[in-house]
Structure 1
Amino acid sequence: MELFAFGVPVYRQRFREDGSSAAKERFYRLLRACCAYREGLREPFEGALECDESTFGGSRHGKRGWGAAGKVIVFGIIKRNGMVKASPIAAHNKVSVMGEIQAHTRPGSLYYTDDWQAYATLRMRGEHVVIRKEKGRPKGRDHINGIEGFWSYAKTWLAPFRGVPRKFFHLYLGEICFRFNHRHEDIEKQLIKLVKSVSIKQIDKTLVRIG
């Protein structure tokens, strides 16, 4: 538990004699499933919210951008100066993005997004501030620095794992959201509290994501 809390990957524990790598991987997977399960129970956000999408995955030859092979597209919502929600989405399109917004935010919120046209109908759900950029920087005082900062946090946290199996990516993402949302607390104590409150039956459907 302590090594997981510190973010030490299993492959860096290969010379320890306190258990096999396979057993440690299973334990880590269960902890991540607990984190993902708990994050999935969070109430929809309201208030000032930043929304954005990003891709996760190593560099590959071939097509780049949103359709690049081996990449996972993730949609995220962060409450200004608060918590984050992030989930893999099936495609980089309006249907997927608006589905996440409808599921995880309350009508009447104030939405900050970039100028992607998929967000155009947000004005029907609440107030909508469009962030336009010039040379990579926001024009004016409005921004989505919060969610962009989370993307940097998430990718930095994943880097030491040297690649994540696609079928378990949602568990790593759930862990990262849990860590971010408890960033001002003792994460080991929060994890111990979490595993005492979640049963294996509750996380059974969370362990493997299909599609």
Structure 2
Amino acid sequence: MKTELVQCFVWGVPVYRQRFSLVASRPATERFYRLIRSAMAHAEQLRDPFTGDLECDETTFGGARKGKRGWGAAGKVIVFGIVKRNGVVKAQPIPAHDRASIMQVIQARSREGSLYYTDDWQAYATLKLRGDHVVIRKEKGRPVGRDHINGIEGFWSYAKNWLYPYRGVPRKHFHLYLGEICYRFNHRDRDIEPMLISLLKRLTVDDVDLN
């Protein structure tokens, strides 16, 4: 049974789409999916801080709603991400769209001396104290010159497309979905089914986040 559930998970089949062919009850299947996501998120948390050429950016996740738009829109989750050029990604929710929140992540998830590529948001100005800093300016949505942050922007597209079939996710579990997406992206050239089975076998109680 567990192997079938892992296979459905790997294929990206939401639980609600399995309602006529569930191999376990819906609550049990949802809990098992959450267990897998917890294992993936835990694995991503163990990655060493990045170094080298890094792209940094922030975005929001959440469906369209009436009322205020932009960074202060109700119901949106603000996410900050770092992509190592031609490599892997780290992304996590942040409490606010401000300098303190992003710098806390950058300090924890990257090493001093790296080369940072960002947009021209003023909050990134102090990056020059950690390493080299290239500011990407845009005209009509396109980068001016040869420098870019296409890597992290491509990840945002990947993540939002992956979440679309779920028709919204519980806010309290959003970090697990984001950990899953990072894991899938970072192993995009591999068959993750045997990797997930191995992860589940190594899980301990302290690794699991099922609340």
Under TM normalisation by the shorter chain, which class is it?
Answer: over 0.9
Which residue, out of 177, 190, 200, partners 1:185?
Answer: 190
Q: Percent identity?
A: 70
Corresponding residue for residue 88 of structure 1? 93
Which residue, out of 111, 126, 138, partners 1:106?
Answer: 111
Which residue, out of 128, 140, 146, partners 1:141?
Answer: 146
**Kindly tell me: are residues 45 and 28 of structure 1, through their superposed partners in 2, closer, same or farther at Cα, counting changes over 3 Å?**
same
Q: Give how far 1:196 is off.
A: 1.6
Distance in structure 2 (CA, Å) of the matches to 1:17 and 1:72: 31
Written as runs of structure 1 = structure 2, the 5 A alignment for 1:137-176 is 137-176=142-181
Q: Give how far 1:17 is off.
A: 4.5
Q: Give how far 1:190 is off.
A: 1.4
Answer whether contact 2:38 2:207 (CA < 8 A) is retained: no
1:124-161 deviation per Cα after TM superposition (whole angstroms, max 9, x unaligned): 00000000000000000000000000000000000000
Corresponding residue for residue 33 of structure 2? 28
Q: Give how far 1:201 is off.
A: 2.7
Query: What's the secondary structure of 1:90's corresponding residue?
Result: coil
Distance in structure 2 (CA, Å) of the matches to 1:73 and 1:48: 23
1:77-108 deviation per Cα after TM superposition (whole angstroms, max 9, x unaligned): 00000000000000000000000000000000
Query: What's the secondary structure of 1:27's corresponding residue?
Result: helix
TM-score, length of structure 1 as denominator length: 0.96
Q: Give how far 1:207 is off.
A: 3.6
Answer whether contact 1:171 1:207 (CA < 8 A) is retained: no
1:57 equivalenced with 2:50 (yes/no): no
**Kindly tell me: are residues 17 and 112 of structure 1, through their superposed partners in 2, closer, same or farther at Cα, counting changes over 3 Å?**
closer
Corresponding residue for residue 116 of structure 1? 121
Answer whether contact 2:31 2:210 (CA < 8 A) is retained: no
Can you give the 5+ residue segments of structure 1 that lack an aligned partner in the other structure?
none
Distance in structure 1 (CA, Å) of the matches to 2:23 and 2:154: 37
Corresponding residue for residue 9 of structure 2? 4
Stretches (4+) displaced over 6 A: none
Query: What's the secondary structure of 2:135's corresponding residue?
Result: strand
**Kindly tell me: are residues 170 and 17 of structure 1, through their superposed partners in 2, closer, same or farther at Cα, counting changes over 3 Å?**
closer
Corresponding residue for residue 132 of structure 1? 137
Which residue, out of 192, 198, 201, partners 1:196?
Answer: 201
Can you give the 5+ residue segments of structure 2 that lack an aligned partner in the other structure?
1-5
Tell me the amino acid that sits aligned with residue 72 of structure 1.
Answer: V
Q: Give how far 1:198 is off.
A: 1.9
Which residue, out of 43, 46, 61, partners 1:41?
Answer: 46
Distance in structure 2 (CA, Å) of the matches to 1:131 and 1:196: 44
Distance in structure 1 (CA, Å) of the matches to 2:29 and 2:22: 11
